[in-house]
Structures are given as structure tokens and as C-alpha cells.
């Protein structure tokens, strides 16, 4: 199957259109169930569907959300009126996306490190998801910093898998979001995060070129450059923004149309503030700087939904989406949070 370059480039550009970002609603059934339990809701396929369909039905969020990443269960579910979820999202001008990796597993011979699996049968799954309406996909690699970590093997296996995934997605018409996440776990400082992030990005782009990935039809979902949670020097928001932009400028090819950050355990406001500072810099970036947040868009919305208010949940989601939309142009202010 020949790659449809025009479709890939158009979809990628629409996903990072001005003022817009991506909602990551692709938690696995187990993860989503745990979040429901944490807010006092009995987990089930119906509970997961009801919560997500309520979020997707929010009025007016199209101005801030260009795409929604779904899990396999969710892409097969329906809205309350029986409309398939991907069909409903598309009717609102929002691209349905799909998580296609099958999770991070132990990396053989390297205790404490992970390799993301899911390449087996990926071509066939991508073809099915495209027919179901998906137009982009996501694959997350997990990079942990610690004593002797990450190893060369961790860099090598994960960068190769990310590129292989990307090439298969593009062949099937899906824009691949490449997500090499350097975790915040640990006591490392921000410079160590910078160095590891730069190395994994360098290796990933080399693999992408080796495997024929069309870079104008790819989006990158990286972590921001931050110290580990156990580091006593937390740094400032300005330092996070500056180091992140410096790292990306040194490693991300200009052909890549957009960078959609993960929130990675940051608070809602920190995730917005960091993105805002980056976009407010007097620097002409070759790529769009956007967001692909999950908890940083939905944490409050989930709590209010669990308390029984569909409307309050939708309002909480819309507020966070609007705050991050403003951050796309450096126009967010903390006073707007009140």
C-alpha cells in the first residue's frame, strides 16, 4: 500500500492548528478503572463509556481540541444516542485517534527498564482502525532514569520500535504520534533529563529516517525538561520552558510539523503555564508547540462527574481546554484560572 503523503500532512497540520491541541483519552481499561475507583465509581465498560461520552458531548470545545486519542474499547463504543464515538467526533470536526501499542513490558536482561510491545499484527489493526474512522495513532515508549539507566539497549530497542510503528501507521493512512517519555520518577536533576531526552530523540529520528518515515506526516509527544520528583532543586517554570525549547531545537527536525507535549504528572496549571511560556518566547519555532494532555485536561472533570454533575464535568473540561488553547499563543494568564 502506497503512503498517502497528502492525507498524512493535512491531518498532521489540522491536529496542530492554531489554538488547538489533542485530548488523550486513551487510558487502558485497567488504568481507567483505577481512576474511577479513586473517585468512588464502580468500574465497568458502561461506566467508562458514560464518563467519556459525557466529555465528548461537551459543547464548544472544538475551538481548543483538534483530536481525541481513544483506547480500543472506546473506539468501538457509542454515544448515549447510539452514534459510534469516532463518527460522532468526526461530525464535530475532531479527528479520532487510537492508541496502538500494547503496553510497556520488562526489557529482557535489563532489570527496571521497559520495551513497548505491539508491533505484531499492527498493520492489520491500523487498517481496521482507519476503516473505523481513526486518522492518527499513538505509541508510548517509557524511558526511566536511574543507576545505569537508561541503557544503550533501552535507547536502541525503543527508538527502533517507535520508528517501525510510525512507518506502519503511515502506510495505513494514520499520522503517528511518537511518544518517547522520559519519566519524572527519580532524583535526577533537570540537566540529566535534558541529556537523556536529547539522546532518545536523536536516536529516534535516526531510526525514522532509516525506515522511511515521512517526517512532515509525524507528530512528536515528548516530556518537558524537568528534574525528577525526588530532586531537591525543582527549578522554575521559566527554566523548564527554556531548557525544553533548547533541547527540542537541538534535536527535532524542522520538517516535523508539531510537538504535542505530554503533561507527565504535572499539575493542571503547571502544564498550561509551561506551554504558555514556551509559546511566549521571542523565538520563531519551525514547529507548532501544542498539547496532548490527559489528566491535565480531565482530572477535575472526572471528579465532578463522579459527584453526579454531567454539566459541571463538561464545564471543568472546557475550562482547561480553553486555558491550554490560550497557552498555544502565549496568551494564558494565571488570573484567568479564577
> Which residues are part of the catalytic machinery?
221
Torsion sign (Cα): 106, 110, 113, 114: negative
185 within 8 A of 223, measured Cβ to Cβ: no
From 116, 71, 90, 33, select the one nearest 302 (Cα to Cα). Answer: 33
* SS3 labels along 66-108: EEEEECHHHHCCECCCCCEHHHHHHHCCCEEEEECCCCEEECC
How far apart (Å, rounded) are the C-alpha atoms in residues 146 and 162? Answer: 22
Q: What would you report as the CA-atom Rg of the chain, rounded to the nearest whole angstrom? A: 19
Contacts of 165 (CB under 8 A, 6+ apart): 100, 101, 118, 119, 122, 137, 139, 176, 178
CA 217: distance to chain centroid? 16
* Buried-exposed string 41-57: b where 16+ CB fall within 10 A, e elsewhere: beeeeeebbebbbbbbe
Amino acid at each position: 500500500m502506497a503512503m498517502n503523503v497528502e492525507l498524512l500532512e493535512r491531518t498532521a497540520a489540522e491536529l496542530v492548528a492554531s489554538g488547538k491541541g489533542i485530548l488523550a483519552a486513551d487510558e487502558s481499561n485497567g488504568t481507567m478503572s483505577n481512576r474511577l475507583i479513586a473517585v468512588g465509581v464502580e468500574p465497568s465498560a458502561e461506566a467508562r463509556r458514560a464518563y467519556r461520552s459525557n466529555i465528548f458531548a461537551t459543547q464548544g470545545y472544538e475551538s481548543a481540541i483538534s483530536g481525541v486519542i481513544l483506547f480500543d474499547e472506546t473506539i468501538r463504543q457509542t454515544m448515549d444516542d447510539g452514534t459510534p464515538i469516532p463518527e460522532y467526533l468526526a461530525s464535530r470536526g475532531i479527528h479520532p485517534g487510537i492508541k496502538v501499542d500494547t503496553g510497556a513490558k520488562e526489557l529482557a536482561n535489563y532489570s527496571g527498564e521497559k520495551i513497548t510491545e505491539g508491533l505484531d499484527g499492527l498493520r492489520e489493526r491500523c487498517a481496521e482502525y482507519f476503516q473505523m474512522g481513526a486518522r492518527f495513532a499513538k505509541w508510548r515508549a517509557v524511558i526511566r532514569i536511574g543507576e545505569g539507566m537508561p541503557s544503550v539497549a533501552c535507547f536502541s530497542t525503543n527508538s527502533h520500535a517507535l520508528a517501525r510503528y510510525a512507518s506502519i501507521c503511515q502506510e495505513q493512512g494514520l499520522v503517528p504520534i511518537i511518544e518517547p517519555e522520559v519519566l519524572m520518577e527519580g532524583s535526577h536533576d533537570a540537566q540529566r533529563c535534558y541529556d537523556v531526552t536529547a539522546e532518545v530523540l536523536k536516536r529516534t529520528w535516526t531510526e525514522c529516517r532509516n525506515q522511511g518515515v515521512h517526517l512532515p506526516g509525524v507528530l512528536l509527544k515528548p516530556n518537558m525538561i524537568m528534574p525528577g520528583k525526588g530532586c531537591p532543586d525543582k527549578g522554575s517554570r521559566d527554566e523548564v520552558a527554556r531548557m525544553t525549547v533548547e533541547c527540542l531545537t537541538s534535536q527535532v527536525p524542522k520538517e516535523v510539523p508539531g510537538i504535542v507535549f505530554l503533561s507527565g504528572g504535572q499539575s493542571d496549571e503547571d502544564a498550561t503555564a509551561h506551554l504558555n511560556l514556551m509559546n511566549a518566547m521571542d523565538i520563531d519555532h519551525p514547529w507548532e508547540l501544542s498539547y496532548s494532555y490527559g489528566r491535565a485536561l480531565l482530572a477535575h472533570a472526572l471528579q465532578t462527574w463522579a459527584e453526579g454533575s454531567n454539566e459541571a464535568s463538561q464545564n471543568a473540561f472546557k475550562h482547561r481546554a480553553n486555558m491550554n488553547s490560550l497557552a498555544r499563543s502565549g496568551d494564558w494568564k494565571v488570573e484567568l484560572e479564577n
